[in-house]
Amino acid sequence: MKRSFLILALLAVTAFTAVRAQQTKPDWMRWHYLSEEEMNTPVRAINFTETPPPTGEPRFVAEFEPMQGVMIRYPLGIPTNLVAQLSNNCMVYCIVSSGYQNQAQSSFQNAGVNMSNVTFVNAQSDSYWVRDYGPWYIFEDRHPAIVDNIYNRPRPNDDNMSGVFANYWNIPMYGMNLQHTGGNMMEDGRGHGVSDDLIVSENGNNEENVRQKMQQYLGIDPYHITIDPQGDYIAHVDCWGKYLAPDKILIAQLPQSNPRYQYYEQVAQYFATTNCCWGYPYHVYRVQEPGGYTIAPYTNSLILNKTVYVPLGDNNNYNNQALAVYQQAMPGYEIVGVPYNSYYGGWENTDALHCRTRGVMDFNMLFVDHRAVWHGMPDWQPSYQVVSKFIAYSGQELKQDSLLVYYQINSSEYQVAHMTATGNPDEYAGTITGYASGDTIRYYVFGADESGHRYTQPVFAELDPHEFIVGPHAPSGELVIAPDTLWYTAMGQERSFLLTNETDALVRVNEINPEDGSALNLMEPDVPFDIQPGASVEVTVSLQTPPMKDDYHAYKIQITTTLGQYQVTAMVKNEAYDMGLYIPGAPVVEMTVDEPQAECCVVNGNYGTDTPIEITDIYEVENPWGNAYLTITMDYGLPYTLDAGSSCCFRLNPNVVEAKGQVTTFVFVESSDRRVEFMVSIDEDLLTTVTEVSGETKLYPNPTAGEFTVEGANMAKVEVYNLVGQKVYQAEGAVVTIDATRWNKGIYLVNIINQNGAVETKKLVVK
């Protein structure tokens, strides 16, 4: 007994001494970021060469944009099982010396890494902090390039890494004569950037020079240079803040009793009162950290495509709160907590997952840049035009019929507006119509190109769209037409405009006549028709045969009403002629309970050359859940030859699969000419309403707009949490029915606890 007590006492003294030693270590030992030799070695730009800035327009890509891969270094600074997870997300580019490659390969294989997604890049390195010394990827106009800077650590091999990857990718590299580091830089992909004031002090306190070079080489303007609220040796922005989207920023928060509390609040207040690139103040999200020696490195996370890898600390309560904040701020993303408690390489508050990885942008991404975002309460307009640029870095053509604005008026179903070319480079516009004063409009922009890339703005789409409220409206006393110009780029396209009666009397529309020879056809409504005071009527006109002219040709659509004559212009592009395989009308198919079956058709548009097209395959694209939402049937076998001017059709029926809420899928038609694509929107009521949680446990219906039930033979208790970690419901029993009618719409986490205490967690969607 005495011997046991003595051992415990010795252990306690040893532990106390270790903590005391940790707190009293000299800086060069505690700050593993620099060795003692490095602490006394000035930064030397051994491997840096200054160059003129890019001659094209630079765009510094954000971390939350599409990534083809992620860079790491071996020997690792991250868990091997995390490498396995990353390899199932994208390519892993592992920097490794030739002498270590066999060891790295063996280690990865033993950990279950997907080796087909691993590329070893042989190079000497000094450390695993690839975030800080790795290349800064940009687009120069439409081409990938790298910007190099003077790495602010005296590590010549690390400082050479930009050149290594410029040679590896065979892309240009520009030398920006600034001492900088990746951990002290975050960007929104649209020209806004953030660093703390280390960037000024490390460059001769010449702030004007810093700002000028950041704008010339990276396109960063405005450049937000803040204080360092952490007040630690490292002075890196990723230790306390992070861009989550162009209008969202995450900033750590300390207890009020912490001496640094006021500095964190000062930075948070700055962003809460500073406009993002979309013209309104940032949405600032706060992640709680206890301060002191408790490990809580939550802002030092890695965003990789639709997944966020969050380093976990040593306090589970703070861990859970941090994960919930990420889920709230980034709906639709998978939030993955990454513990790492290795004695030799665990996380620290000044060094975690973000520091030890670096994303590699997708060189072929599709960029959706809708900059003039509607927000707040703009003045009344008869229609709101949504203008966006679409940049296909792949070099492939945009899918003209897949440039769309999805918009919702109040709580109605989403509608689709096609976007058409404005005549400015890469610019397209769509129109939101059919609302009244005081209505809430939610919308997002979608685009796709022929390479198969697609993207939305915001990236969260309908889970967190742009939003504004229609301003007050006083009738103008006339018939309003919006838009007054229709843009056509392909045969079979349908375009619409809205006639709104803003008088106090009925207006009759007697005739709608497209100009003779224009090959435009009035689809609906039938004329004559009446428009009641304050009401609107949508008029749809299709393009039948385009003119044999270059570029765009303007045709007039004459409208005769009891108020007088009006005119709409139709801009028709010649390249619609002999366009090959195309989809007549809109390539968006909606399947509802009222119309559960849909028919889709494609047309051989080679009218002039009379070239046949062979249809080789029709299939639904594989989705992340592995569900086939549709059954595709046709009356003929494949391959099928489609003569010029002829069409073929097929039918879509919904399958009974696990419900996933609002479902959007895609159907591809492959041919000897090209691939065309249908977007299919499926009402979730057409899918099963029962979600299998396990072999014995069920959660249904999911999604729900009212009650839902959880049941299981071995179930003991149910707990429901919202995404900020608050428990909203708890009940016991083998069958529990819960009324969610008054709950806020969104995603909830349902913990299903069995008799043995095991817990299964499932997402519940409340509509």
pLDDT at 302: 97
At 443 the pLDDT is 97
Q: In the beta sheet, which residues pair with residue 709?
A: 700, 737
Q: What percent of the chain has pLDDT over 70?
A: 85
Q: Which residue has the higher pLDDT, 106 or 598?
A: 106
pLDDT at 36 over 50: no
pLDDT for residue 457 is more than 60: yes
The whole-number average pLDDT for the span 8-34 is 37
Q: In terms of domains, do 329 and 430 share one?
A: no
340 and 415 housed in the same domain: no
The pLDDT value given to residue 414 = 92
- The reported pLDDT for the residue numbered 551 is 60
**Top-confidence residue, 194 or 655:** 194
The pLDDT confidence band at residue 393, using thresholds 50, 70 and 90, is: very high
What's the confidence (pLDDT) of residue 539?
Answer: 93
pLDDT digits (tens, 9 = 90+) for 293-347: 889 999 999 999 999 999 999 899 999 999 999 999 999 999 999 998 765 568 9
Report the distance separating Cα 329 and Cα 286, nearest Å: 10
- Check whether residue 564 and residue 586 sit in a common domain: no
Token pair 């460059």: residue: 203
- pLDDT at 608 > cutoff 70: no
The per-residue pLDDT for 485 is 84
| Residue 574, pLDDT above cutoff 80 | no
C-alpha triplet 6, 11, 16: angle, nearest 5°: 125
Where is the domain boundary, 305, 340, 361?
Answer: 361
Query: Residue range 709-732: average pLDDT?
Result: 80
Mean of pLDDT values over 134-148: 96
Query: Which is more confident, 240 or 543?
Result: 240
Residues 411 and 308 in one domain: no
At 733-750, the pLDDT tens digits run: 888 999 888 887 777 778
- Choose the final residue of a domain: 361, 392, 424: 361
The model's confidence at residue 655, banded by pLDDT at 50, 70 and 90, is: confident
pLDDT above 70 for 66: yes
CATH number for the domain spanning 743: value is: 2.60.40.1930
Pinpoint the alpha helices (H) of 173-284.
198-201, 207-218, 261-272
* pLDDT, mean of residues 41-46: 54
Please give the model's pTM, rounded to 2 decimal places: 0.69
> Once rounded to an integer, what is the mean pLDDT over residues 6-29?
37
Q: Looking at residue 502, what is its pLDDT? A: 87
Per-residue pLDDT band for 15 (boundaries 50, 70, 90) equals very low
Render pLDDT for 214-236 as a digit per residue (tens, 0 to 9).
999 999 999 999 999 998 888 99
In this predicted model, what pLDDT tens digit does every residue of 115-133 receive, in sequence order? 999 999 999 999 999 999 9
Q: Residue 320 and residue 333: Cα distance in Å, rounded?
A: 16
Q: So what's the pLDDT on residue 598? A: 85
Q: Which of 19-33, 56-70, 438-452, 650-664 has the lowest mean pLDDT?
A: 19-33
Query: Is 16's pLDDT higher than 70?
Result: no
Say how far apart CA 125 and CA 38 lie, in whole Å: 15
Written as six digits, the tokens of 515 are 């100009």
Whether 18 is in a domain gets the answer no
Give the end of a domain, one of 326, 361, 396.
361
Total structural domains within the chain: 4
Residue 466 is assigned to a structural domain of this protein: yes
* Helices (H), ranges, 31-70: 36-39
Q: Mind giving me the DSSP string for 185-213? A: -EE-SSS-EEEETHHHHTTTT-HHHHHHH
More confident residue, 177 or 382: 177
Q: Compute CA distances 485 → 168, 272, 477, whole Å.
A: 48, 39, 22
Q: What is the DSSP letter of 115?
A: G
Same domain for 283 and 144? Answer: yes
Distance of CA 227 to the CA centre of its chain: 29
Is the confidence at residue 17, as pLDDT, over 70? no
Distance of CA 701 to the CA centre of its chain: 28
The strand pairing partners of 308, in sequence order, are: 303, 335
Q: The CATH number of the domain where 673 resides is what? A: 2.60.40.10
For residue range 609-639, list pLDDT tens digits in order. 778 999 999 988 866 556 678 888 887 788 9
Distance CA 573, CA 551 (A): 6
Helix or strand (DSSP H, E) at 90: none
Pairing, β 647-654 against β 697-700: unpaired
Q: Residues with catalytic annotation? A: 355
Return the CATH number at 190.
3.75.10.10
- Are 261 and 381 members of one domain? no
- Give the model's pLDDT for residue 278: 97
Tell whether 530 and 472 lie within a shared domain. Answer: yes
Judge whether 334 and 217 are in contact, CB under 8 Å: no
Q: 18 or 38, which is more confident?
A: 38
Query: What is the reported pLDDT for 662?
Result: 56
**pLDDT at res. 518:** 65
For residues 238 and 339, state if they share a domain. Answer: yes
| Residue 213 and residue 243 share a domain | yes
Q: Range with the lowest mean pLDDT among 35-44, 161-170, 706-715, 753-762?
A: 35-44
Lowest-confidence range among 43-47, 249-253, 570-574, 749-753?
Answer: 43-47
* Mean pLDDT within 660-686: 80
691 pLDDT tier (thresholds 50, 70, 90)? very low
Four-residue CA torsion sign, 682, 688, 690, 693 = negative
Report the mean per-residue pLDDT for the chain: 85
Q: Do 653 and 698 belong together in one domain?
A: no
Residue 684 has pLDDT above 60, yes or no: yes
Percentage of residues of the chain with pLDDT beyond 90: 53
Domain for residue 555, yes or no? yes
Mean pLDDT throughout 146-168? 91
Domain interval for residue 138: 29-361
pLDDT-based confidence at residue 197 (cuts at 50, 70, 90): very high
CB 347 within 8 A of CB 313: yes
* Domain co-membership, 279 together with 383: no
* CA distance linking residue 152 with residue 129, whole number of Å: 12
Q: Which residue has the higher pLDDT, 495 or 40?
A: 495
Could you tell me the pLDDT band of residue 696, with boundaries at 50, 70 and 90? low
- Check whether 430 has a pLDDT greater than 60: yes
Whether 21 is covered by a domain: the verdict is no
Question: How confident is the model at residue 70, as a pLDDT?
Answer: 97
Same domain, 161 and 306: yes
More confident residue, 143 or 674: 143
Q: 574 and 547 in contact (C-beta within 8 Å)?
A: yes
Other CB atoms within 10 A of residue 412 CB: 11
- Length of the chain, please? 767
**How many Å apart are CA 351 and CA 299, to the nearest integer?**
10
